[in-house]
Amino acid sequence: MSEKKETKQEVSRRDYLKITGGAIAGLVVGGAIGYLAKPTEVVGPPPTGVTTQTVTRTLAETITWLPGMGVSERAAAGAKQLVASGAVPAGATIKLLHVAGSKNNFEPFFADWEAKTGTKVEVVTLGGEPDVLTKAMAEATAKTGAIDIITIFSTWKGDVIEAGLAKDLTDYYNKYNPEYGSQYPDTTVIEPLADYTTMYKGKRYAVDLDADVFTLTYRKDLLENPDYASQFKSKFGYNLKVPDTWEEVKDVSKFFTDLNLKAPDGEKVYGGYFYADPGWAAFTTWLCIFVSKGGILFSPTDMKAMINTQEGIDATQVMADLVPYMHPDALSMDWASLYKRYSEGKAVLTMAWPSLIKWAQDPSTSQIVGKSGSALAPGSKVTVGGKEMLLKAANNPVNWIGIVSNYSKYPELSYLFWQWVTSPVVGAESVSRVGIMDIFRECWFVPPYRETFEKAYTPQFLDVFADCIAHSFPDLMIKGSSEYLDKLTKNVNAACVKAKTPKAAMDDTAKDWEPITDRLGRDAQLEAWKSMIPLYPADVQDVWKAKGYLS
Amino acid sequence: MKTADRLTQWIGKTESFKKLSTLPLNFVLNFVLIVPFAIMIFLSFTRWEPLSGYDWWHAPIAGVPRFVEAFGDARLLWALIRTTIFVAVVLPLEFLLGLGMALLFLGDFRGKKAFTSVVMYPMMMPWVVVGLGFYLMFQYYGPVNLLLLKPMFGEGGVIDWFTNAVLAFVAVMIADIWQWTPLMFLIIYAGLAAVPRRLIEAAEVLGASSARIVRTVRLPLIKPLLVVALIIRGLEAFKVFDIVYIMTRGGPGVNSTEVVSLYVYNLSIVYHNTSYACAVSLIIMIGIALVTRLAIRPLEVRAE
């Protein structure tokens, strides 16, 4: 029997290098062919909008082929016309990149859009919000055109615009008119929300999908309790009421924490729960206090960080003083814990997004249904022209907005979908559904749309929320905002956990902010910041002028 | 000869066919590994980030200054120190616990297979799940406080783990030890079980105690395996990211539990400072390569 001799075939190092070299050479040749074959990308300079102190709005021209139509009808007709003219093929699909868990705001309307326009929408979801920014920045670099429209946080607006991803939509606004602006009193997005969520350096780069303005939410049953009212009066010398200032928030929080009340599950009830964790502390609680004290983040003359002014130190001190009267989760848990703890009845005062009231009113998630009230965020007493006034300004962190990719094959069609799904008629249904979007058009606060939204929120909340939006101010939305806010929020948390004094925390943050500004270009950052200032409420700007921060 | 045999013989003899059949895999590996690596090296010598407004291949060359900047970066230095402390604590503990468990499992006992499966479960869980679980467990009103510390020490024993930098770091280490001790157990147990029985019996006949047998017979024989286990686990521990991200996000306060991987993540994903993140990554990679080279020297000397 012959033995099979197995010849051991080994690939020698020389052969391996030959094969690998061949593979790389093939790759390089293929890549070179691909690079030379594709159309030349015009890598334009970063956008350089004109910095103005006033916001200019251009009235839409009357489109003769869209007479008398509403916002959604103009959008749908515009899309149909694009298909009819051959600019967009029939059956074309728009890809929407969206955070997971809230397709409910958009997906149910895709069939209707397709029926009206002959084009389709497909949603691609990602795990969490940070993943959306990562994917957006990857698309800004790779320019694949695989995604047409993206939902992003307003905080990231500067980044995605400066990275060249977000398309300038000003021409589409002028052509199709989504009715943002005070000349449309019945249907407008409430100002200043419409402007600060959609504009950057004087141009429109997004559509508004949301209103994430923080409101003060409180246990009205406890605040209206006559026994507690008399105890509070004898202790603090004024009537127990919904706090108007952060000092009153501290008093009310201390009072209820010291009462040692028990929640339905037997755990302690704390006076307050305000975000103070390393992820959310800065641009939720802290920023609201800071602006209400008349603080300004950067100098409008040289972009120097101004968070370590007295206003910044005082804002940080307020938060540090609140810590003993807050639920312990406020320092370390994520944003959803506030919803859970408040709805379990473990906090008397809190401040969060509008969706909190939905959560607190839902019997499946709340043990305090019917016991919540809403109010404008507390403010601070400031002196303007020798007179003391109460300045209230509500922060609007991480407001969802929709952008159109610069690399989309169908940018106009993509914009039209955004206009359609956020229009007064369609938007009333899409926004009121369970998901991430909240009410932002003035017409939705009144009949006939109000009834739809009252089912989601409460009548009292709706009465208050329009006023909150009118008093709201924007997130920090310039280039590098994630980095600025990351440094700030960690230092605020450090002060809250007593790792630093408020002054040291603010000084360290200011020291960290300067290299960021230098790296990103001080002049460019100044231009962007100066274009944001007019988007703040008028009374905030008046205080800045009175303090000499604004000329 | 059958056709199949002829075909097999032909395939076995043909050199070109063998080389060509490895080409697709080579292509994929080189494309996935070498091309991004080459781009990373290029970017580390430039000043570029997505917010620059121009493409990365148009980025101006900055040369060595990015590396000089990294060596002067206090935040990077502290991240390295924390990561080193992390490895220095979790690695010996995981090793000793894994060794202890492996020795316990050497003998036969009832339900051994079931217990072995239970011991392995932590290792099979995704890092995110482990991180989230321990994040919830160590909260102020979590089970560690309510079920363990409060019954033992009363109200005064309750700890706010995530508001203290040291305690938060300890919580992260506990999570890592819980998850990866089974890996050490698995490797060490496999080695100990493979020690020839006759050597153990010979030592027993000569009157050696169990402890002495472990110390002088079992452990020396599996020493190369232990070195490999320590290197593998050490490298993985150095790269820790998920549980730190989930449990502390680098906090409390300012970066008090930030490890190297989390710092690079912040640089590249949060701050979009891409070219600097590449420079830092390259420095760390070279550092790890040097340390690993030194660590495996005992194995090479032994092989010679």
For every residue of A486-514, which 3-state class applies, written as one string?
HHHHHHHHHHHCCCCCHHHHHHHHHHHHH
CB contact under 8 A, A499 and B18: no
Domain boundaries, chain B: 1-33, 80-274
Average per-residue pLDDT for chain B = 89
Å from B127 to nearest chain A CA? 16
First to last CA, chain B: 46
Q: Considering only CB atoms, which chain A residues are within 8 Å of B248?
A: 278
CA A190 distance to own-chain centroid: 16
pLDDT at site A66 = 52
Pairing mode, strands A149-153 and A93-99: parallel
What residues of B are in contact with residue A130 (Cβ under 8 Å)? 269
What pLDDT is attached to residue A386? 86
Determine contact, residues A424/A443, Cβ cutoff 8 Å: yes
The answer, yes or no, to whether residue B283 has pLDDT greater than 60, is yes
The pLDDT score that the predictor gives to residue A39 is 41
Which residue of B lies nearest to A132 if distances are taken between CA atoms? Answer: B269
Size of interface A-B (CB pairs under 8 A): 127
| Measured CA distances, B80 to B73, B258, B282 (Å) | 11, 9, 14
pTM: 0.85
Identify the residue among B163, B164, B246, B256 best suited for mutation to test binding to A, counting A beta carbons within 10 A and taking the highest.
B163
Say which of A22, A490, A519 has its CB closest to residue B251. A490
Asked if B51 and A491 come within 8 Å (Cβ–Cβ), the reply is no
* Measured distance CA(A345)–CA(B275) in Å, rounded: 48
pLDDT at position A59, please? 34
Q: What one-letter code names the amino acid at B234?
A: G
Check: CB of residue B54 under 8 Å from CB of residue B193: no
Contact assignment for B23 to A23 by CB distance below 8 Å = yes
The DSSP secondary-structure symbol of B30 reads I
Please tell me the number of Cα atoms within 13 Å of A419 on its side-chain side.
29
Alpha helices in A38-96 (DSSP H): 71-84
**Alpha carbon distance B20, B5 (integer Å):** 21
pLDDT digit string, tens, across residues B217-259: 888 899 889 988 999 999 999 999 999 999 999 989 899 999 9
> Angle formed by the axes of helices A110-117 and A71-84, to 10°?
50
The three-class DSSP label of residue A46 is: coil
Nearest to B228 by CA among B180, B298, B127: B298
Instruction: Output the pLDDT for position A33.
Output: 56
Alpha carbon distance A449, A358 (integer Å): 17
3-state class (DSSP) for residue A374 = strand
- Compute the distance between CA of residue A499 and CA of residue A508 in angstroms, rounded to an integer: 13
pLDDT digits (tens, 9 = 90+) for B88-137: 999 999 999 999 999 999 888 888 889 899 999 999 999 999 999 999 99
Q: Which residues of A touch B162 (CB under 8 A)?
A: 331-332
What is the distance between the alpha carbons of residues A433 and A445, in angstroms, rounded to a whole number?
16
**CATH second-level architecture of B80-274?**
Orthogonal Bundle (1.10)
Using the predicted structure, report yes or no on whether residue B197 has a pLDDT greater than 60. yes
Same CATH topology for A71-208+400-463 and A215-396+477-546: the answer is yes
**Which residues, in sequence order, are bridge partners of residue A122?**
A95
Q: Which residues of A touch B19 (CB under 8 A)?
A: 11, 15, 19
Q: Which residues contact A423 (CB under 8 A, 6 or more apart)?
A: A70, A71, A72, A75, A178
CA A529/CA A532 separation, integer angstroms: 5
Interface test with B, best of A165, A332, A487 (most B CBs within 10 A): A332
Q: Mind listing the pLDDT tens digit for each residue in B25-43?
A: 888 888 888 888 999 999 9
Q: In this model, does residue B215 exceed pLDDT 90? A: no
pLDDT at B300 over 90: no
Taking the CA atoms of A376, A378, A381 and A385 in sequence, report the sign of the dihedral they define. negative
pLDDT, position A50:
31
pLDDT, position B303: 53
Give me the pLDDT at residue A11, please.
Answer: 60
DSSP A379-444: BEEEEETTEEEEE--EEETT-EEEEEBTT-S-HHHHHHHHHHHTSHHHHHHHHHSSSS----BGGG
- B252 neighbourhood in chain A, CB within 8 Å: 278, 331-332, 493-494, 497, 499
In chain A, which stretches have pLDDT less than 50? 1-8, 37-65
Interchain pair A23, B26: CB under 8 A = yes
Taking CA–CA distances from B258, the nearest residue in chain A reads A490
Q: Which CATH number fits domain A215-396+477-546: 2.60.40.1120, 2.60.120.10, 3.30.360.10, 3.40.190.10?
A: 3.40.190.10
Contact assessment for residue A163 and residue A140, using Cβ atoms and an 8 Å cutoff: yes
- In chain A, what are the domain boundaries? 71-208+400-463, 215-396+477-546
Predicted complex ipTM: 0.84
Q: What percent of chain B has pLDDT over 90?
A: 58
d(CA A90, CA A104): 26
The per-residue pLDDT for B11 is: 64
CATH of domain A71-208+400-463: 3.40.190.10
> How far is A403 from chain B, CA to nearest CA, in Å?
17
Check pLDDT > 60 for residue B12.
Answer: yes
